[in-house]
Structure 1
Amino acid sequence: MRARLGVLLGTIALATGLLAPPAAPAAPQRPPVEDFCGDQCSDILPPGQNGNATLADILLHQVFGSRPAHADDQLGPYAALADGYPGLTTETINEFFNDASFGVPDDQVVSTIRPRSDVTIVRDKATGVPHIHGTTRSGTEFGAGYAAAQDRLWLMDIMRRVGRGELTPFAGGAEGNRALEQQFFAASPYTEAELRQQIDQVAESGPLGRRGLADAKSYVDGINAYIEDAHGGRYFPGEYVLTGHVDAITNAGEIAPFRLTDLVVLASVVGAQFGGGGGGEVRAAIAKLAIQERYGLAEGERVWRGLRAEDDPETVRTLHEGQSFPYGKAPEHPRGVAMPEPGSVTPQQLVFDRTGSAGSQQNVAVRPVDTHGMSNALVVSGEQTESGNPVAVFGPQTGYFAPQLLMLQELQGPGISARGASFAGLSFYVLLGRGQDYAWSATTSAQDITDTYAVELCEPDGSAPTRESNFYTFRGECLPMEVVERKNAWEPTVADSTPAGSYTLRAFRTEYGPVTHRAMVDGRPVAYAALRSTYFHEVESLLGFQQFNDPGAIRSAEDFQRAADLVNYTFNWFYVDAEDTAYYNSGANPQRNSTVDPSLPVLGNAGFDWQGWNPDGNTAEYTPFAEHPNSINQDYYISWNNAQAKDYAAAGYGKSSVHRGDLLDTRVRALVTGGAGVTRANLTQAMAEAGLADLRAERVLPVLLRVLDTAPVRDPAAAAAIEKLRAWLADGGLRAETEPGGRAYRHAEAIKIMDAWWPLLVRAQFEPAMGPAAFTAMTRVLQINESPSGFQNAEPGQRVGQPHQGSAYQRGWWGYVHKDLRSLLGERVRGPLGDRFCGGGDLARCHQALVDTVTRAAAQPIAEVYPGDSTCDAGDQWCADSIVHRALGGITQDPISTQNRPTFQQVVEFPRKR
């Protein structure tokens, strides 16, 4: 590709003016809005605000490594915190963060434009963030759309294609493009009419809905105004040329204008990735069957419930004062469970009619969206701080991309006053950020709003159905499954040399949602369908975000909680002003039949539907405000996708006695009880140190050492490895560099031993007792490991998740290992597992298993532990852990050292309020 780009460089430089947009006319800046944070609000969003690059920018980057202005200027400060946090002071915070004050001082203005008479966009020298000031509400939203297109047009275009399952015809048939479009099309296979229907529903919901529709229309107008200006002026993103959509010489071609329905698509992508909860019931059922096969029904049920850990009494919770919010727990004797017959489950096929390069993918089936959840929050009440004002360090994890999925902006206009981060293409409101005298953020909560229903298959002529039948029984009728198709074909492009190919994406839908699997239940063929409460309701959350941005709507913690209740996605919301802190768990939580176990498939058409469920529009009865976990002015709040409150059952698995939320909770609790008072600096330090801590070392290694210390370790290699681990733990158990920019770890050998040991340890501890079938099935419900490099799992060299993603320790068997070993040592264990696994319950045999596996781990070649990839050489430990911004356009970024930290982050402390 580089050779072709080199040829193009000379051609483009001579034939076009695609070097930079023309200078825009200056306009007076709107008078500043009163800012109640002073200089105590900061934020950061790597790699940089500028996510658009002309063709010349891309070619120069490919040849010389240069990048456009503001494409990477937030990456260095973000990366530097990993080494610089120990010496952090309140005076040096903005060496690692941006000043997030409202407005731009006159001497810091780098550009001022007026794309319409009622809006001004001012950008600052330091970061290039747009500060949008409208004299009308429509002008403010128009400016937001114009600025979004300036900074993220190509990314926005990519994402609207991803959500429709139409990325490959637009950007090429590379394997990554195919995976993206398949994943999101399977989750939300909407027709254009259904997308428009969602817009109409919101507009008809009341005054907030009508205002939201007007805001969205003005926003789209702004996007399209920029497209017209950039196309005519030849300063549009260069990826349009490289993918063949616009001719570099003649400028012929089209950059398709945006439509309101594109915003619905973008909302569905964001909701599926970050705001969903539940699902996976079929995998869970397969695992439970395997465990029952191993242990028998009664003992198998006890073992299963121990591994389920739906409300573990030892798990870390955001609400830690004993508050109870019952929801989602399995009843003692559930009814209506639709367990598949062993060996009968097949995933629903998604890809059909493959030709050309698409033929290399075989048996592609519906797969769940791999949701992200690294977002974290540390919020401390004023009673615990040095100043007497609450302090917060919080932000979402949306992954690391180039350009970033999020973008920064300030919006000021009638009924709108906020600065912060928004998803590109949904930035008509600030989604996470600050208002005049308050700030807010969210973490993924993922409580269970998705259930899997088994619908009996049928044939309209009355003949015997099979698992391949595409008709199903619903309320006494044999109905055809709805089929939504995308016929995609692609050709090679300059940017993607994948050979030509085509395929058809085909989603099968029932009244209970899209089909995910086929199986046999009680001798009858069924389809399993996933029903999500936000299905057909993707854009309704904008009502809550609209209020977050409105200073007239948010004057108190209670106001914020009520606004958060309008968000139907599953998020933990955190709020802080000069006096109060608050927490609220949002989501359209369906009210279930009390006999239903939501963690397993449920029989459809059998009286076990959600209460008040109406398939026309997918509406139901939802739990009211007071039944959602909520609190005001708890001494402190932490969240790292941990459990919310007592009796609020976790969707999924792994919220057990060890969770990465412990890394925050222990540090914040120590600050609160230490007596010195919490500050922005020491709370940021707590977050940063937790982001370098190895959860396995800090929380599980101590009990591993206690088992190892029960008998002599006579093998010299094992003894040496154990002492290296012990020294690492004594030094904090951090994955910390030897020196800033050193590209090597202190205790590098101990870290390598732990990375190699964990998968060997878990298999040796659990598989002999569970048996291979149950053990393997359970690892498909909950992966055993999520190290920063993402390489180590139950099999040598097998990857888990996306390497280089930053996020680590969200999912794993940490709690299982911890509980089992403590039980074996005779220590008190609340909520024990249903069996003793290690060594078959014999401490001596368990001790030997630990010694054997740590010996093997120490001997494993480093090139096997870190096998290398397109970014790293085999054996490069630092690089294997490093954060790499996945390129979604023509500009790439350099790797940075690992940090288990939000992508966008705020550090805030308001000294006064309105």
Structure 2
Amino acid sequence: MPRRTPHSALDRPRAPRRFHGFLKAASVCVLVTGLLSPLSPAAAAGTAAEAAGEATTGAVGGAAAANDYCGGRCSDILPPGENGSATLAQILLNQAFGILPGHAGDQLGPYADLAKGYPALTDDKINSFFNDASFGVPPDQVASTVRPAGRSDVTIVRDKRTGVPHITGTTRYGTEFGAGYAAAEDRLWVMDLFRRVGRGQLTPFAGGAPANQQLEQEFWRNAPYTEAELQAQIEGAAARHGARGQQALADAQAYIDGINAYIDASDSGRYFPGEYVLTGHKDAITNAGTIEHFKITDLVALGSVIGALFGSGGGGEVDNALSLLAAQSKYGLEEGTRIWESFRQRNDPEAVLTVHDGKHYPYAGRPDDPRGAALPDAGSVVREPLIHQRTGSAATAAAKRASDAAARNALSSARRGMSNALVVSGRHTASGHPIAVFGPQTGYFAPQLLMLQEIQGPGISARGAAFAGLSMYVALGRGQDYAWSATTSGQDIIDTYAVELCQDDHHYLYRGTCTPMEKVERTNSWKPTVADSTPAGSYTMRVWRTKYGPVTHRATVGGKKVAYTTLRSSFLREADSIVGFQMLNDPGFVKGPEDFQKAVQHINYTFNWFYADSEHTAYYNSGDNPVRASGVDPDFPVWARPAYEWRNWDPATNGADHTPPSAHPNSIDQDYYISWNNKLALDYSSAAWGEGSVHRGDLLEDRVRKLVEAGGVTRAALVRAMADAALTDLRGEDVLPGLLEVINSAPVTDPTASAAVSKLQDWLAAGARRTETSAGSRRYAHADAIRILDAWWPLLVRAQFEPGLGSDLYTAFTVNLPIDESPSAAHGPTGAHAGSSFQFGWWSYVDKDIRAVLGKPVRGPLARKFCGNGDLAACRDVLIGTLKQAAGTPAAQVYPGDDQCAAGDQWCADSIVQRPLGGIKHARISWQNRPTFQQVVEFTGHR
């Protein structure tokens, strides 16, 4: 096993919180090494296959595949590494000595190095920072070839550089069997975790640590399904999609069979993931215990987690109502509503757009004559409790805090948005072929939620990434002569209904009849394990469900007692998207941009989809957008009455009328596309707040537009644009100039303020980037300017807006939209060390207000001027006063430290941590705001 090679861009790893027990167990390493193979699971599988007489030579490898039209210009990357499984011996060695299993971290260094290497990047250097994503494996690069379970109809070839599985089948069943087998080789433990997260049963499996409690609570509340409902979703999806649906069902079963074949092989060969021993499910000495086989309903449970994380836009209507009431209380009904709408920015004319061809796509806007609104009485709203009957460690303050956090997070799906895309038409490239740099920003985990693979078989030909446990098809990647990717779109497919209570708190009126709510419960208990020493405890999760969805709040409306429920169009339909992914993988279906758009129309999650081949580019926004009743305002709770229900809604299946494909933002061969979870198109309202004049999408828009205007765009140029945006502080580039203009509207005589302004101006002139002085220095250039802005932003926002809004309304608006999401802002929606930054914040509000105070034109202005009550001199005093306070704030206070970093360590506070989902830990890397899985593609030919 190779020792981890020190790398200039990597920081020394620390033990993850959830697995400190591994270090305590290191003393048994010598014993365990003799009991469990120290090989990586993939290598161990090869050894087992060889012992069984299966082919393990490189005979299946070959030169570039004949069906590959990329001409060597397709690349990808997915840190930290493909191998996401480790035996107990490997875990203990990693925890004690920092040794990584093979291919567990070999993509992290190249990924991290782009932050310093991008300025000098040329096309021939791209694969120094990315993997070659060509089809097939050259003979001299074959590391192993396995016929899983001795089958003759499928082989899994792994390459030497990355260990990515290349699955080739001669039958459809064999192909999918191999995909399941490879998935289990690389991600069995993660798959096992997340099928239990989706069922709300993580803590009995992995221990009662507060982080585990929070995870299971957050997701189960959104999808509290019974086993019968999980099965019904599989059957319903298959029935609704005809022959393709039946094929998807068969593919899923073959995939499950492959997973279970690997479980059996790894169990008998004793090279299963070591976490099973450390959580008490297997015995290291006797091998007693079982690893439960997978079943097809596990795929739905997994899908519900992924959908909730990345593809479920909307929600937040109760919080919207509370802030509207606060605005009306402060300013009166008419003026308060006007103030609220100006902060909501539903259709801001200055927002950066993905579809910028002038077409309008009206959806989810404010109706002229709103009907059916059910706003709560002031002070009556109470969140529905999820947790009951705590015992033991579940009754601790930490557990209660985790539960409260989960309740808040579960109700804020509008805040989950990640990923970016840069796509340029061939009319503007040096080669005449389109170029794309795109990928999902799915967070940083060890192992990753995604895995890389290539699948070649009857009706399937693709390479790319798929979520672990859902990799029967490539979710994001490339086909023979086309590539595709997605970003989270966030349009509103979730509504909140106010159901009138009758008889008691657990009966409600459904179409005039008093109807009992359905109680769905999970009682989870746990004991301490080697991996998690949390003392024994238990609790019950309880959700009350109505035909209008699960109950989230209680309140009164006009004195009537109501329960607020949340209903999303993908509820009870988690499996429906499978056919869209099947089509994307089918070379017989996707032959051009129109076919691509037809494929992704079958995906009911809220995503932006991007496409490129050698001649065309395309875009389509997917999701089952419900057709709402006339006059319903989707931003607020509405009465649960037939007049305000979705059109032709069937509560038994959650079927309804959906807007037609032509009503979704879509485009073919626009000059370029950018997406970073920004506004999609004119009049297309998102559930997310903050789509205004300053958005992180502007960082891409400004750079790509300049490249297109100059012409001759290359792959390297587009990667450089992405990487430069990934290192830029949005506040610095797009808001700081206006702030400095106000301050410099008169001479700055205060020495502290003058010094701070000088530092900020120098940093701004250098590009407002958060970059190291040199690779591996772990110190930022312009470190003091960055510290000053990090300290200044929350001070200036509060001082600028709270006096005018009042404390109650200011606080309510910060619930709708946090004020900041800098890389070190652990309080931001994505949490600490997560990479993703600058999506959520008050940058547009500050920008518009400052420009208004300066007397500059503002389209879509705030309803009034706030900074200094609109007076330039008073505003300048506000800014200088807060700037002086920020300049005097020590680094230890700005960056207070956490379990990863010492107080005051600016670089570390920003750094990205591969958050552990298992026993293997990885080094920190310097901050980059870029996709986790990323492709660089330029096809040179077409079928």
Q: What TM-score, normalized to structure 1? A: 0.97
Match status 1:854 vs 2:883: yes
Question: Equivalent residue for 2:55?
Answer: 26
Match status 1:502 vs 2:538: yes
After superposition, what is the alpha-carbon deviation per residue over 1:226-272, rounded to whole angstroms, capped at 9, x for unaligned? 00000011000000000000011110101000000000001110001
How big is the shift at 1:409?
0.1
Question: For residues 157 and 133 of structure 2, what CA distance do their matches in structure 1 show?
Answer: 15
Match status 1:772 vs 2:829: no
Question: Equivalent residue for 1:462?
Answer: none
Residue 629 of structure 2 aligns with an amino acid whose one-letter code is: N
> Percent identity of the aligned residues?
62
Residue 29 of structure 1 aligns with an amino acid whose one-letter code is: V
How big is the shift at 1:8?
2.1
For the 8 Å contact 1:288–1:304, the answer to whether it is kept is yes
Match status 1:9 vs 2:29: yes
CA 1:552/1:110 → structure 2, altered by over 3 Å: closer, same or farther?
same
Report 1:333-482 matches (<5 A). Answer: 333-360=369-396, 361-362=399-400, 364=403, 366-369=407-410, 372-459=416-503, 465=504, 469-482=505-518
Which of 578, 583, 603 is the aligned partner of 1:567?
Answer: 603
For the 8 Å contact 1:472–1:479, the answer to whether it is kept is yes
How big is the shift at 1:3?
5.5
Which of 695, 715, 730 is the aligned partner of 2:750?
Answer: 715
After superposition, what is the alpha-carbon deviation per residue over 1:408-446, rounded to whole angstroms, capped at 9, x for unaligned? 000000000000000000000000000000000000001
For the 8 Å contact 1:33–1:103, the answer to whether it is kept is no
Question: For residues 60 and 643 of structure 2, what CA distance do their matches in structure 1 show?
Answer: 62
Which of 926, 933, 942 is the aligned partner of 1:904?
Answer: 933
Residue 592 of structure 1 aligns with an amino acid whose one-letter code is: R
Structure 2 residue matching 1:492: 3-state secondary structure: coil
Report 1:215-234 matches (<5 A). Answer: 215-234=251-270
Tell me which moved more, 30-39 or 546-555. Answer: 30-39
Question: For residues 636 and 120 of structure 1, what CA distance do their matches in structure 2 show?
Answer: 40
Question: Equivalent residue for 1:883?
Answer: 912
CA 1:30/1:740 → structure 2, altered by over 3 Å: closer, same or farther?
closer
Tell me which moved more, 105-114 or 27-36. Answer: 27-36
RMSD: 1.2
Residue 421 of structure 2 aligns with an amino acid whose one-letter code is: A
Residue 11 of structure 1 aligns with an amino acid whose one-letter code is: L
Match status 1:894 vs 2:914: no
Which of 494, 502, 527 is the aligned partner of 1:491?
Answer: 527
Question: Equivalent residue for 1:69?
Answer: 102
Question: For residues 144 and 204 of structure 1, what CA distance do their matches in structure 2 show?
Answer: 24
Residue 164 of structure 1 aligns with an amino acid whose one-letter code is: R
Residue 60 of structure 1 aligns with an amino acid whose one-letter code is: L
Structure 2 residue matching 1:164: 3-state secondary structure: coil
Question: Equivalent residue for 1:208?
Answer: 244
Tell me which moved more, 702-711 or 425-434. Answer: 702-711
Question: Equivalent residue for 2:680?
Answer: 644
Report 1:638-717 matches (<5 A). Answer: 638-675=674-711, 677-717=712-752
Question: Equivalent residue for 2:16?
Answer: none
Question: Equivalent residue for 1:803?
Answer: 832
Question: Equivalent residue for 1:548?
Answer: 584
Tell me which moved more, 190-199 or 15-24. Answer: 15-24
After superposition, what is the alpha-carbon deviation per residue over 1:688-713, rounded to whole angstroms, capped at 9, x for unaligned? 00000100000001111111122222
How big is the shift at 1:13?
2.6
Which of 44, 50, 62 is the aligned partner of 2:77?
Answer: 44
How big is the shift at 1:38?
1.4
Residue 399 of structure 1 aligns with an amino acid whose one-letter code is: G
CA 1:16/1:402 → structure 2, altered by over 3 Å: closer, same or farther?
closer
Match status 1:324 vs 2:344: no
How big is the shift at 1:14?
3.7
Question: For residues 821 and 522 of structure 1, what CA distance do their matches in structure 2 show?
Answer: 40
Question: For residues 755 and 636 of structure 2, what CA distance do their matches in structure 1 show?
Answer: 46
How big is the shift at 1:612?
1.1
After superposition, what is the alpha-carbon deviation per residue over 1:504-527, rounded to whole angstroms, capped at 9, x for unaligned? 011111111011111111101111
Question: Equivalent residue for 1:824?
Answer: 853
Question: For residues 86 and 420 of structure 2, what CA distance do their matches in structure 1 show?
Answer: 31
How big is the shift at 1:674?
1.5
Match status 1:83 vs 2:116: yes
Structure 2 residue matching 1:702: 3-state secondary structure: helix
Question: Equivalent residue for 1:94?
Answer: 127
Question: Equivalent residue for 1:148?
Answer: 183
Question: Equivalent residue for 1:837?
Answer: 866
How big is the shift at 1:714?
2.1
Structure 2 residue matching 1:63: 3-state secondary structure: helix
How big is the shift at 1:478?
1.2
For the 8 Å contact 1:18–1:234, the answer to whether it is kept is no
Residue 771 of structure 2 aligns with an amino acid whose one-letter code is: A
Which of 259, 262, 270 is the aligned partner of 2:306?
Answer: 270
Question: For residues 650 and 884 of structure 1, what CA distance do their matches in structure 2 show?
Answer: 30
Question: For residues 167 and 645 of structure 1, what CA distance do their matches in structure 2 show?
Answer: 40
How big is the shift at 1:458?
1.3
Structure 1 residue matching 2:609: 3-state secondary structure: strand
Residue 116 of structure 2 aligns with an amino acid whose one-letter code is: D
Question: For residues 219 and 682 of structure 1, what CA distance do their matches in structure 2 show?
Answer: 40
Question: For residues 333 and 82 of structure 1, what CA distance do their matches in structure 2 show?
Answer: 51
Structure 1: 5+ residue runs without aligned partners? 460-464, 792-797
Residue 28 of structure 2 aligns with an amino acid whose one-letter code is: L
Question: For residues 378 and 202 of structure 2, what CA distance do their matches in structure 1 show?
Answer: 37
How big is the shift at 1:650?
1.7
Which of 252, 257, 269 is the aligned partner of 2:293?
Answer: 257
Report 1:727-766 matches (<5 A). Answer: 727-766=762-801
Question: For residues 711 and 775 of structure 1, what CA distance do their matches in structure 2 show?
Answer: 30
Which of 544, 566, 580 is the aligned partner of 1:530?
Answer: 566
Question: For residues 253 and 776 of structure 1, what CA distance do their matches in structure 2 show?
Answer: 52
Question: For residues 841 and 520 of structure 1, what CA distance do their matches in structure 2 show?
Answer: 38
Structure 1 residue matching 2:250: 3-state secondary structure: helix
For the 8 Å contact 2:95–2:921, the answer to whether it is kept is no
Structure 2: 5+ residue runs without aligned partners? 1-20
Question: For residues 387 and 372 of structure 1, what CA distance do their matches in structure 2 show?
Answer: 37
How big is the shift at 1:26?
2.0
How big is the shift at 1:7?
2.8
Tell me which moved more, 817-826 or 878-887. Answer: 817-826
Question: For residues 176 and 787 of structure 1, what CA distance do their matches in structure 2 show?
Answer: 23
Question: Equivalent residue for 1:795?
Answer: none
Question: For residues 236 and 297 of structure 1, what CA distance do their matches in structure 2 show?
Answer: 63
How big is the shift at 1:842?
1.6
How big is the shift at 1:373?
2.0
Structure 2 residue matching 1:92: 3-state secondary structure: helix
Question: For residues 531 and 343 of structure 1, what CA distance do their matches in structure 2 show?
Answer: 24
CA 1:606/1:894 → structure 2, altered by over 3 Å: closer, same or farther?
same
CA 1:510/1:685 → structure 2, altered by over 3 Å: closer, same or farther?
same
CA 1:760/1:800 → structure 2, altered by over 3 Å: closer, same or farther?
farther
Question: For residues 57 and 209 of structure 1, what CA distance do their matches in structure 2 show?
Answer: 41
Question: For residues 481 and 769 of structure 1, what CA distance do their matches in structure 2 show?
Answer: 44
CA 1:3/1:94 → structure 2, altered by over 3 Å: closer, same or farther?
closer
> In the comparison of the two structures, how many residue pairs are matched?
899
Residue 378 of structure 1 aligns with an amino acid whose one-letter code is: L
Which of 502, 516, 519 is the aligned partner of 2:552?
Answer: 516
For the 8 Å contact 2:123–2:716, the answer to whether it is kept is yes
How big is the shift at 1:347?
0.6
For the 8 Å contact 2:352–2:693, the answer to whether it is kept is yes
Structure 1 residue matching 2:931: 3-state secondary structure: coil
Structure 2 residue matching 1:479: 3-state secondary structure: strand
How big is the shift at 1:153?
0.1
